[in-house]
Amino acid sequence: MILKGIRVVELGQNLAGPFAGAILADLGADVIKVEKPEGDDARKWGPPFWPDGSSAAFHGMNRNKRSVTVDVRDDGERERLLQLIGTADVFVHNLRPGAADKLGLGAADLCERFPRLVYCDMGAFGHDGPLALRPGYEPLLQAFAGLVSINGDPDGPPARMGCSLVDLGTGMWTVIGALAALQRRSVTGEGGLVRTSLFETALRWAGLHIESYAVSGKVPERHGTGHPVLVPYQAFETANGPLVVTAGNDRLFARLAEVLGRPEWATDPRYATNADRYANKPEMLRLISEILATDTRERWAERLEAAGVPCAPINSIPEVYAHPQTAALGILQQPPGAPAPMVGLPISFGDARPAMRSVGPALGADNDAVFGSGA
């Protein structure tokens, strides 16, 4: 319980805001989730649904929290929320751009009223510029920031990335900012404003491609499972399924060539260095593909691993779920009342991973405890 004693008020909805709150809650903070009277929309994101009718997605983002309901359009309830925020160390929201200011919950007002408060404002397209007031969602930001354009097979259409990495990443950046601000407060006694946004997160994820374009002027291409620079560094079909092979430097390539029965490649001027292999990429990939197709991914993996060449099968989610390495890490945890395990925080302190103490809260379950029996 690293953050025991820290109180967080989360006015979060859907994914990015609740994920920031979930990280802080997993770390031991007392996270009070403030929901509209009808509840976070994510409660209905399904299927699948838990036996209580709430979605699995909701519980994954809202475990270890308490829930209160507030109608922010009601003056009395809004003032009650403000008093609650006054008891918090951190306030997190991902309201629609401009909504917090209209409700009297904007950063300027709250930071002046509560000078020790760390105020985390999670935006969509950023807090400045011509699109500052535009709302945003995961697929929109992946598209707008160029991530969709660099994802997918080069011979097929561009594709959205399979996980909500922009929402989740923004939650992570928000927590990093909040923890840094709390550290500063421990020295200065003052809180302050932490601003993050989906677009800024997406830009950071696209950063290497943006920076490469800025230097070269060349529009980044899609590479499927491959890499824009390293060769070979991608999936190859074997006799029974794909195997990712990542010979990320010339030493590893020499080992790969030995395993493939082509040791001469290591000194061949067409393939000896990564620059050589990049210049002859189609031919290099064709030759490797022909050899790997002659045997199974299991046999190739055994040989490659013995030679120290990194490789991995493209596992399905069921295969990952059942893998002994996943089990050995203890990252799949089943909190009390959950019908199935959930993925825990990917951090351990010493040998201990933060525990899941509870599932996502019932809507308004903690109104009385937080606001009093008159709530």
Amino acid at 333: Q
**Residue 349 CA: distances (Å) to CA of 186, 313, 346, 355:** 22, 30, 10, 11
C-alpha to C-alpha distance for 255 and 305, rounded to whole angstroms: 10
Residues sharing a CB contact under 8 Å with residue 118, sequence separation 6 or more, in sequence order: 89, 90, 91, 178, 181, 182, 185, 191, 192, 194
**Exposure of 260 by Cβ count < 10 A (0-12 exposed, 13-18 middle, 19+ buried)?**
buried
**Exposure of 235 by Cβ count < 10 A (0-12 exposed, 13-18 middle, 19+ buried)?**
buried
Nearest to 247 by CA among 292, 294, 298: 292
| 158, 213 Cβ separation under 8 angstroms | no
| 302, 278 Cβ separation under 8 angstroms | no
Catalytic residue positions, numbered: 227
C-alpha to C-alpha distance for 197 and 346, rounded to whole angstroms: 23
Give, as one character, the DSSP assignment of residue 197: E
